[in-house]
């Protein structure tokens, strides 16, 4: 804690502790809070009142809060929440503001390591954004492939150093629309190739195309590349030693990935049909014991974010639809609101542009909405 600011990491650690005495108070308006919030926080919508300077009304709303807990105020970017925390201190409360607000909350990761016979899968859960990254580590060589890196590349560098592993490949399953890839920057820093299907990018920067590749191999780990279009035209899934499938946005735990981003209505319908064909061709060839690792999550509380194919098929209605038209209608009906700034983010990712971290964080603010149905 620094004066009257508290870091997102410290808040996360407190929430995970048995001695948590913090009360998180989100001052954004109700619609913003309902759309995207920290689980367990309380909404006291005084943000607009702060902007208008109506301090009497602000105090009236805040005076209902208990005085026996540390109050952590939250807003979108950590500006007005500092004002709210100051007012609370004047009212006799212990209060601090979440540094950088929900924007800062997006920086938090939880890390899980799952063990298989010849390899491990390390899942980086970006808890505020619903994004997932992976290190696939060969046990015999400690070499690794990094999938879906976020812009906070220090997370992967720190893990690599602390665990004595060597990243050999940096890969994106597709060009993301809801968050920026850290793959280009990390590849440049580590002097590695950035790998992605050439269908997914504008070919105006240096990358290694996975379009024609069949397999990535290191040590005893064999990663089979599978073309899995639908969410995007060039999406690729990665089957690891026939035990685990890293499938991008093809299969999320809540739903298959949405096919509409950056597409017209007609293209969305076509994409849903392609998604149906991809699933019907792919799933019968996989063992029910195959562990499914998606690249995003929306509402699930399952941690780590993984499920066997058997369980996923039992819990996912669209995976049991056998009629193509019925599937298309299911996927294209009631598609969630599009992710914020998705067109801008995807254009940067497709062009391989590395932009300043603070600017990237601003554009990424908001919930994950990659599932076709929440």
Among 75, 131, 247, 370, which one carries the catalytic annotation? Answer: 75
What span, in angstroms and rounded, lies between the C-alpha atoms of 68 and 182?
A: 42
DSSP structure class, residue 200: G
SS3 291: strand
Largest CA distance in the chain: 67
Of the candidates 5, 183, 138, 18, the residue with the CA atom closest to the CA atom of residue 81: 5
Element at 84 (helix H, strand E): helix 80-90
The CA radius of gyration of the chain, in Å to the nearest whole number, is 22
Q: CB neighbours of 36 closer than 8 A, spacing ≥ 6?
A: 102, 366, 367
DSSP structure class, residue 371: B
75 is catalytic: yes
The angle subtended at Cα 163 by Cα 159 and Cα 167, nearest 5°, is: 65
What span, in angstroms and rounded, lies between the C-alpha atoms of 269 and 329?
A: 8
In sequence order, what DSSP letters do the residues of 211-278 get, joined into one string? TT--EEEETTEEEEEEE--SSSTT-EEEEETTTEEE-TTSB-SSSBBPS-TT--HHHHHHHHHHHHHH
Interhelix angle 265-282/324-332, rounded to 10 degrees, is 130
- Catalytic residue ranges: 75
């Amino acid at each position: 804690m620094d004066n009257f600011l508290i870091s997102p990491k410290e808040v996360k650690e407190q929430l995970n502790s048995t001695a948590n005495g913090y009360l998180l108070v989100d001052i954004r308006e109700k619609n913003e809070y309902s759309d995207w919030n920290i689980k367990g926080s309380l909404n006291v919508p005084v943000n607009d009142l702060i902007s208008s300077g109506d301090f009497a009304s602000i105090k009236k709303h805040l005076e209902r809060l208990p005085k026996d807990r540390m109050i952590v105020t939250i807003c979108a970017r950590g500006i007005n929440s500092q004002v709210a925390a100051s007012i609370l201190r004047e009212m006799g409360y212990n209060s601090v503001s979440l540094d950088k607000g929900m924007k800062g909350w997006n920086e938090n990761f939880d890390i899980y390591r799952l063990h298989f016979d010849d390899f491990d899968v390390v899942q980086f859960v970006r808890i505020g954004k619903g994004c997932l990254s992976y290190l696939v580590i060969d046990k015999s060589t400690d070499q690794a492939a990094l999938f879906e890196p976020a812009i906070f590349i220090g997370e992967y560098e720190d893990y690599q150093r602390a665990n004595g592993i060597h990243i050999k490949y940096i890969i994106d399953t597709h060009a993301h629309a809801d968050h920026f890839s850290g793959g280009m920057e990390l590849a440049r820093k580590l002097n590695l190739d950035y790998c992605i299907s050439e269908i997914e990018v504008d070919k105006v920067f240096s990358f290694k195309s996975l379009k024609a590749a069949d397999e990535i191999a290191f040590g005893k780990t064999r990663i089979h590349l599978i073309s899995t279009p639908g969410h995007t035209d060039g999406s690729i899934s990665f089957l690891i030693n026939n035990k685990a499938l890293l499938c991008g946005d093809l299969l999320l735990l809540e739903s298959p990935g949405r096919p509409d981003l950056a597409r017209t209505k007609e293209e969305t319908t076509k994409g849903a049909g392609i998604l149906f064909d991809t699933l019907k061709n792919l799933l019968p060839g996989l063992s029910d014991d195959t562990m499914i690792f998606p690249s995003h999550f929306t509402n699930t509380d399952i941690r780590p974010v993984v499920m066997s194919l058997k369980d996923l098929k039992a819990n996912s209605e669209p995976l049991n639809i056998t009629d193509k038209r019925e599937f298309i209608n299911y996927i294209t009906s009631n598609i969630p609101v599009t992710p914020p700034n998705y067109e801008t983010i995807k254009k940067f990712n497709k062009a391989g542009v590395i932009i300043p971290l603070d600017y990237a964080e601003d554009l990424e603010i908001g919930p994950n909405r990659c599932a076709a149905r929440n």
